[in-house]
Structure 1
Amino acid sequence: MNQLKLAGCVIRNEDGGILLLHRNTPRRVQWEIPGGKIDQDEDPSATAAREVLEETGAEVAIVRHLGEKAFEEDVYTMVYSWYLAEVVSGSPMVREPDTHDDCRFFSPAELDGMAHELSPNTRNFLTELKSGKISI
Protein backbone atom coordinates (compact mmCIF):
# COMPACT_ATOMS: atom_id res chain seq x y z
CA MET A 1 0.00 0.00 0.00
CA ASN A 2 1.29 3.48 -0.86
CA GLN A 3 2.14 5.82 1.98
CA LEU A 4 1.29 9.52 2.19
CA LYS A 5 2.68 11.82 4.87
CA LEU A 6 0.37 14.56 6.11
CA ALA A 7 0.52 17.26 8.77
CA GLY A 8 -2.01 19.57 10.36
CA CYS A 9 -2.66 21.95 13.20
CA VAL A 10 -4.74 21.59 16.32
CA ILE A 11 -5.95 25.13 17.08
CA ARG A 12 -7.92 25.95 20.22
CA ASN A 13 -10.03 28.96 21.05
CA GLU A 14 -10.19 30.70 24.45
CA ASP A 15 -12.90 28.23 25.58
CA GLY A 16 -10.77 25.17 24.73
CA GLY A 17 -12.69 24.35 21.54
CA ILE A 18 -10.81 22.68 18.68
CA LEU A 19 -11.01 24.11 15.14
CA LEU A 20 -12.36 21.77 12.48
CA LEU A 21 -13.19 22.26 8.81
CA HIS A 22 -16.21 20.58 7.23
CA ARG A 23 -15.19 18.85 4.00
CA ASN A 24 -18.11 18.58 1.60
CA THR A 25 -16.98 16.91 -1.62
CA PRO A 26 -18.44 14.11 -3.74
CA ARG A 27 -15.98 11.65 -2.14
CA ARG A 28 -16.00 12.84 1.48
CA VAL A 29 -18.34 14.63 3.87
CA GLN A 30 -16.65 14.95 7.26
CA TRP A 31 -15.25 17.29 9.90
CA GLU A 32 -11.45 17.36 9.89
CA ILE A 33 -8.39 18.99 11.40
CA PRO A 34 -6.92 21.58 9.00
CA GLY A 35 -3.90 20.10 7.26
CA GLY A 36 -2.67 18.30 4.17
CA LYS A 37 0.06 16.55 2.25
CA ILE A 38 3.71 17.21 3.05
CA ASP A 39 5.54 18.37 -0.08
CA GLN A 40 8.88 16.78 -0.96
CA ASP A 41 11.66 18.17 1.27
CA GLU A 42 9.14 20.24 3.28
CA ASP A 43 9.36 20.27 7.07
CA PRO A 44 6.14 18.78 8.51
CA SER A 45 5.57 21.75 10.82
CA ALA A 46 5.90 24.10 7.83
CA THR A 47 3.32 21.97 6.00
CA ALA A 48 0.92 22.21 8.91
CA ALA A 49 1.19 26.02 9.08
CA ARG A 50 0.99 26.39 5.26
CA GLU A 51 -2.11 24.23 5.03
CA VAL A 52 -3.89 26.19 7.79
CA LEU A 53 -3.13 29.44 5.94
CA GLU A 54 -4.36 28.00 2.61
CA GLU A 55 -7.50 26.43 4.08
CA THR A 56 -8.53 29.07 6.64
CA GLY A 57 -6.63 32.28 5.88
CA ALA A 58 -5.24 32.34 9.42
CA GLU A 59 -1.52 32.58 10.07
CA VAL A 60 -0.36 30.34 12.90
CA ALA A 61 2.70 29.82 15.05
CA ILE A 62 3.59 26.21 15.80
CA VAL A 63 3.76 25.62 19.56
CA ARG A 64 4.89 21.98 19.56
CA HIS A 65 4.58 18.57 17.92
CA LEU A 66 1.78 16.54 19.48
CA GLY A 67 2.25 13.14 17.86
CA GLU A 68 1.36 11.12 14.80
CA LYS A 69 -0.74 8.15 13.85
CA ALA A 70 -1.47 6.24 10.65
CA PHE A 71 -4.79 5.29 9.11
CA GLU A 72 -5.89 3.61 5.89
CA GLU A 73 -7.87 5.51 3.28
CA ASP A 74 -8.52 4.42 -0.32
CA VAL A 75 -5.26 2.76 -1.44
CA TYR A 76 -3.04 4.71 0.95
CA THR A 77 -1.59 4.47 4.40
CA MET A 78 -1.81 8.04 5.68
CA VAL A 79 0.74 8.99 8.33
CA TYR A 80 -0.54 12.17 9.96
CA SER A 81 1.50 14.46 12.26
CA TRP A 82 -0.37 16.83 14.56
CA TYR A 83 1.00 20.17 15.76
CA LEU A 84 -0.43 22.41 18.42
CA ALA A 85 -0.64 25.92 16.96
CA GLU A 86 -1.87 29.39 17.88
CA VAL A 87 -3.41 31.91 15.52
CA VAL A 88 -1.14 34.97 15.23
CA SER A 89 -2.93 36.77 12.41
CA GLY A 90 -6.39 36.58 10.85
CA SER A 91 -9.54 34.71 11.82
CA PRO A 92 -10.09 31.17 10.58
CA MET A 93 -12.75 30.91 7.87
CA VAL A 94 -13.43 28.77 4.81
CA ARG A 95 -10.95 29.76 2.08
CA GLU A 96 -11.45 26.77 -0.25
CA PRO A 97 -15.23 26.67 -0.83
CA ASP A 98 -14.91 23.90 -3.44
CA THR A 99 -13.62 21.63 -0.65
CA HIS A 100 -14.96 23.00 2.65
CA ASP A 101 -18.33 24.55 3.52
CA ASP A 102 -17.90 25.31 7.25
CA CYS A 103 -15.23 26.11 9.82
CA ARG A 104 -15.87 26.16 13.56
CA PHE A 105 -14.65 25.31 17.02
CA PHE A 106 -15.99 22.28 18.90
CA SER A 107 -15.61 21.46 22.57
CA PRO A 108 -14.17 18.01 23.36
CA ALA A 109 -17.61 17.07 24.77
CA GLU A 110 -19.31 17.98 21.47
CA LEU A 111 -16.75 15.94 19.55
CA ASP A 112 -17.49 12.87 21.70
CA GLY A 113 -20.98 12.69 20.22
CA MET A 114 -19.88 13.24 16.62
CA ALA A 115 -17.59 10.26 15.92
CA HIS A 116 -19.54 9.23 12.80
CA GLU A 117 -19.12 12.75 11.33
CA LEU A 118 -15.36 12.98 11.90
CA SER A 119 -12.53 12.04 9.55
CA PRO A 120 -10.46 8.96 10.46
CA ASN A 121 -7.57 11.28 11.33
CA THR A 122 -9.69 13.42 13.66
CA ARG A 123 -11.03 10.27 15.37
CA ASN A 124 -7.42 9.08 15.81
CA PHE A 125 -6.47 12.42 17.36
CA LEU A 126 -9.37 12.32 19.83
CA THR A 127 -8.52 8.73 20.81
CA GLU A 128 -4.91 9.75 21.52
CA LEU A 129 -6.12 12.80 23.46
CA LYS A 130 -8.55 10.80 25.62
CA SER A 131 -5.97 8.09 26.31
CA GLY A 132 -3.54 10.70 27.60
CA LYS A 133 -0.92 10.01 24.90
CA ILE A 134 -1.39 13.61 23.73
CA SER A 135 -2.05 16.65 25.87
CA ILE A 136 -3.13 20.03 24.61
Structure 2
Amino acid sequence: MKRIIARLWWMIRPVQWRLLWLTHATFMVGVTGLVRDDQGRVLLLRHRLWPEGRQWGLPSGYAIRGEEFSATVAREVREETGLEVEAGRLLYLRSGFRLRVEVAYEARFLGGDLAIDPFEILEARWFSPAELPDEMQESHRLLIREETAND
Protein backbone atom coordinates (compact mmCIF):
# COMPACT_ATOMS: atom_id res chain seq x y z
CA MET A 1 0.00 0.00 0.00
CA LYS A 2 2.83 2.42 0.88
CA ARG A 3 4.41 1.79 -2.53
CA ILE A 4 1.16 2.64 -4.28
CA ILE A 5 0.77 5.86 -2.31
CA ALA A 6 4.40 6.79 -3.03
CA ARG A 7 3.88 6.18 -6.75
CA LEU A 8 0.69 8.21 -6.81
CA TRP A 9 2.46 11.01 -4.98
CA TRP A 10 5.12 11.25 -7.69
CA MET A 11 2.50 11.03 -10.46
CA ILE A 12 0.75 14.12 -9.15
CA ARG A 13 4.00 16.09 -8.85
CA PRO A 14 2.58 19.25 -10.54
CA VAL A 15 0.01 19.66 -7.75
CA GLN A 16 2.03 18.44 -4.76
CA TRP A 17 2.73 21.91 -3.36
CA ARG A 18 -0.91 22.90 -3.67
CA LEU A 19 -1.99 19.81 -1.77
CA LEU A 20 0.63 20.41 0.91
CA TRP A 21 -0.47 24.07 1.17
CA LEU A 22 -4.08 23.04 1.69
CA THR A 23 -3.36 20.27 4.19
CA HIS A 24 -0.71 21.95 6.36
CA ALA A 25 -0.68 25.01 8.57
CA THR A 26 0.26 28.35 7.05
CA PHE A 27 2.20 30.71 9.27
CA MET A 28 2.88 34.42 9.46
CA VAL A 29 6.50 35.09 10.32
CA GLY A 30 7.26 37.80 12.86
CA VAL A 31 10.88 38.90 12.78
CA THR A 32 12.68 40.77 15.56
CA GLY A 33 16.09 42.41 15.53
CA LEU A 34 18.30 42.86 18.57
CA VAL A 35 20.24 45.91 17.36
CA ARG A 36 23.30 47.01 19.33
CA ASP A 37 25.60 49.92 18.78
CA ASP A 38 29.38 49.92 19.37
CA GLN A 39 28.79 50.88 23.04
CA GLY A 40 26.64 47.78 23.65
CA ARG A 41 23.41 49.75 23.93
CA VAL A 42 20.20 48.24 22.54
CA LEU A 43 17.84 50.02 20.15
CA LEU A 44 14.30 50.06 21.55
CA LEU A 45 11.17 51.49 19.99
CA ARG A 46 7.95 52.63 21.61
CA HIS A 47 5.38 51.11 19.25
CA ARG A 48 2.13 52.98 18.69
CA LEU A 49 0.10 49.84 17.89
CA TRP A 50 1.28 47.70 20.81
CA PRO A 51 -0.74 47.35 24.05
CA GLU A 52 -0.53 50.17 26.57
CA GLY A 53 1.98 49.39 29.28
CA ARG A 54 4.00 47.15 26.94
CA GLN A 55 4.80 49.51 24.07
CA TRP A 56 8.59 49.43 24.33
CA GLY A 57 10.31 46.66 22.41
CA LEU A 58 12.82 45.68 19.82
CA PRO A 59 12.32 46.55 16.14
CA SER A 60 9.88 43.96 14.80
CA GLY A 61 7.71 43.25 11.82
CA TYR A 62 6.36 40.61 9.49
CA ALA A 63 8.29 38.99 6.68
CA ILE A 64 7.00 39.57 3.18
CA ARG A 65 6.37 36.45 1.12
CA GLY A 66 9.66 35.30 -0.40
CA GLU A 67 11.80 37.62 1.74
CA GLU A 68 14.75 36.18 3.63
CA PHE A 69 14.21 36.71 7.33
CA SER A 70 17.58 38.40 7.76
CA ALA A 71 16.49 40.91 5.09
CA THR A 72 13.26 41.49 7.05
CA VAL A 73 15.30 42.73 10.01
CA ALA A 74 17.16 45.27 7.87
CA ARG A 75 13.97 46.41 6.11
CA GLU A 76 11.92 46.79 9.29
CA VAL A 77 14.62 48.75 11.11
CA ARG A 78 15.08 51.02 8.08
CA GLU A 79 11.30 51.57 7.70
CA GLU A 80 10.71 52.22 11.40
CA THR A 81 13.82 54.26 12.25
CA GLY A 82 15.74 55.24 9.10
CA LEU A 83 18.79 53.38 10.47
CA GLU A 84 20.81 50.81 8.55
CA VAL A 85 21.60 47.46 10.15
CA GLU A 86 22.97 44.12 9.09
CA ALA A 87 21.43 40.92 10.44
CA GLY A 88 23.89 38.57 12.06
CA ARG A 89 23.46 35.47 14.16
CA LEU A 90 20.06 33.80 14.43
CA LEU A 91 19.03 34.05 18.10
CA TYR A 92 15.86 31.99 18.01
CA LEU A 93 13.27 30.43 15.78
CA ARG A 94 10.09 29.09 17.33
CA SER A 95 6.41 28.73 16.83
CA GLY A 96 4.56 31.47 18.55
CA PHE A 97 1.00 32.44 19.22
CA ARG A 98 -1.46 30.52 17.04
CA LEU A 99 -0.24 30.51 13.43
CA ARG A 100 2.79 32.71 13.97
CA VAL A 101 6.43 31.77 13.76
CA GLU A 102 8.83 34.04 15.62
CA VAL A 103 12.37 34.68 14.46
CA ALA A 104 14.98 36.88 16.15
CA TYR A 105 18.36 37.95 14.84
CA GLU A 106 21.24 39.80 16.32
CA ALA A 107 21.78 42.92 14.20
CA ARG A 108 24.76 45.22 13.87
CA PHE A 109 24.18 48.96 13.60
CA LEU A 110 25.81 50.27 10.42
CA GLY A 111 24.78 53.93 10.54
CA GLY A 112 22.19 56.45 9.48
CA ASP A 113 20.22 59.23 11.11
CA LEU A 114 17.33 58.41 13.39
CA ALA A 115 14.04 59.32 11.66
CA ILE A 116 11.09 57.38 13.10
CA ASP A 117 7.97 56.42 11.18
CA PRO A 118 5.33 58.30 13.24
CA PHE A 119 2.53 56.01 12.06
CA GLU A 120 4.07 52.98 13.80
CA ILE A 121 6.65 54.37 16.20
CA LEU A 122 6.23 56.95 18.96
CA GLU A 123 9.85 57.08 20.09
CA ALA A 124 13.21 55.39 19.49
CA ARG A 125 16.14 55.37 21.91
CA TRP A 126 19.33 53.51 22.71
CA PHE A 127 19.28 51.83 26.14
CA SER A 128 21.90 50.18 28.26
CA PRO A 129 20.84 46.53 28.82
CA ALA A 130 20.98 47.28 32.58
CA GLU A 131 18.52 50.19 32.28
CA LEU A 132 15.61 48.97 30.17
CA PRO A 133 12.24 50.77 30.41
CA ASP A 134 9.55 49.32 32.66
CA GLU A 135 6.82 49.34 29.98
CA MET A 136 8.54 46.76 27.81
CA GLN A 137 7.53 43.50 26.16
CA GLU A 138 8.68 40.83 28.60
CA SER A 139 9.83 38.46 25.85
CA HIS A 140 12.10 41.20 24.46
CA ARG A 141 13.46 41.98 27.93
CA LEU A 142 14.32 38.30 28.41
CA LEU A 143 16.00 38.09 25.02
CA ILE A 144 18.17 41.12 25.79
CA ARG A 145 19.12 39.77 29.23
CA GLU A 146 19.94 36.33 27.80
CA GLU A 147 22.09 37.72 25.00
CA THR A 148 23.83 40.23 27.27
CA ALA A 149 24.69 37.43 29.70
CA ASN A 150 26.16 35.38 26.83
CA ASP A 151 28.57 38.15 25.78
Which category of TM-score, normalised to the shorter sequence, fits these structures? 0.7 to 0.9
Partner of residue 109 from structure 2, selected from 87, 97, 102 = 87
Matches within 5 A, 1:1-136: 3-25=27-49, 28-29=51-52, 30-72=55-97, 76-94=98-116, 96-111=117-132, 114=134, 117-126=135-144, 128-129=146-147, 135=150
| Displacement after TM superposition at 1:67 (Å) | 1.8
Give the letter for the 1:9 counterpart: G
Question: In 1, distance between residues paired with 2:51 and 2:27?
Answer: 19
Question: In 1, distance between residues paired with 2:144 and 2:62?
Answer: 20
Structure number with larger C-alpha Rg: 2
| Displacement after TM superposition at 1:56 (Å) | 0.7
Q: For the Cα contact (< 8 Å) 1:69–1:81, is it kept in 2?
A: yes
* The structure with more helix, counted as a fraction of residues: 2
How many residues are paired up?
Answer: 125
| Aligned Cα root-mean-square deviation (Å) | 2.6
* The structure with more strand, counted as a fraction of residues: 1
TM-score (normalizing by structure 2): 0.68
Unmatched runs of 5 consecutive residues or more in structure 2: 1-24
Question: In 1, distance between residues paired with 2:119 and 2:74?
Answer: 21
The 1:91/1:64 distance shift into structure 2, 3 A limit, reads farther
Q: For the Cα contact (< 8 Å) 2:37–2:109, is it kept in 1?
A: no
Query: How many percent identity over aligned positions?
Result: 32
TM-score (normalizing by structure 1): 0.74
Unmatched runs of 5 consecutive residues or more in structure 1: none
Q: For the Cα contact (< 8 Å) 1:80–1:121, is it kept in 2?
A: no
